[in-house]
Chain A
Amino acid sequence: QVQLVESGGGVVQPGGSLRLSCAASGFTFSSYGMHWVRQAPGKGLEWVAFIRYDGSNKYYADSVKGRFTISRDNSKNTLYLQMNSLRAEDTAVYYCAKRGPGTLYYFDYWGQGTLVTVSS
């Protein structure tokens, strides 16, 4: 069965950096695009970033463009999110999500999330 396990969250000061990881299993990781989606405490979901199956193209929400970098290591079945210049408004649970098959424009499996808190 598909499993996505995020790690790397924690408390970081404003302006700091953090790298999140998402370990994937139960499917052919190298065949699917992957997303990061976040949810601020008590708020709704926000799409953050997408990477194609081979890492050739990456796309970002305006709110994180230039500060966050999505990447992947298909040899390790792992997705990453490098977060720099963190702000208080980046505080959220970060989920990795697998791109759905077929038309590909949806998220069919999600991890349990990892909490990032930006605070001094």
Chain B
Amino acid sequence: QSALTQPASVSGSPGQSITISCTGTSSDVGGYNYVSWYQQHPGKAPKLMIYDVSKRPSGVSNRFSGSKSGNTASLTISGLQAEDEADYYCCSYAGSSTWVFGGGTKLTVL
């Protein structure tokens, strides 16, 4: 149950696009199409942004998209806005009814 690997921080200017990577193994990210992404603002609970690699829940902006290739999943945010500044966590199903999170990425909107 080792944590998935995410970059500690990413940044971008308003209107730009950024991508956050999430690297695991064939036992988690690579083995299942069950990667989800969560946004967390300081002092707040996490919020679901993407599930099942690329599905967007109702109410989440279509500026958020997800993908996966091999053992690496990615979250892309297009048209960056100030309110997107937050921490982002990936999560993967890891088999046997266990889950593993990434270490988190701090997104700064310049």
Contacts and interface: CB of A to CB of B under 8 A. Distances in A.
Contacts of A100: 48, 51
A46 B4 CA distance: 11
Contacts of B40: 45
A82 to B, nearest CB: 19
Contacts of A112: 44-45
Contact of A50 (B38, B89, B97): B97
A45 B45 contact: no
Interface in B53-108: 57, 89, 91, 93, 96-104
Contacts of A103: 34, 51-52
A105 to B, nearest CB: 4
Contacts of B38: 45, 107
Interface residues of A, number: 25
A57 B45 contact: no
Contacts of A113: 45
A59 B97 contact: yes
A59 B104 CA distance: 23
A102 B91 contact: no
Interface in A64-120: 95, 100, 102-103, 105-113
Interface in B5-55: 32, 34, 36, 38, 40, 44-48, 51-52
B10 to A, nearest CB: 15
13 contacts: A37-B46, A37-B101, A44-B89, A44-B102, A45-B89, A47-B98, A47-B100, A50-B98, A63-B1, A106-B51, A106-B52, A107-B48, A112-B44
Kindly list the 9 A-B residue pairs having the minimum CB-CB distance in the complex, ordered from nearest. A105-B34, A106-B36, A106-B51, A59-B97, A44-B104, A47-B99, A110-B45, A45-B101, A105-B93
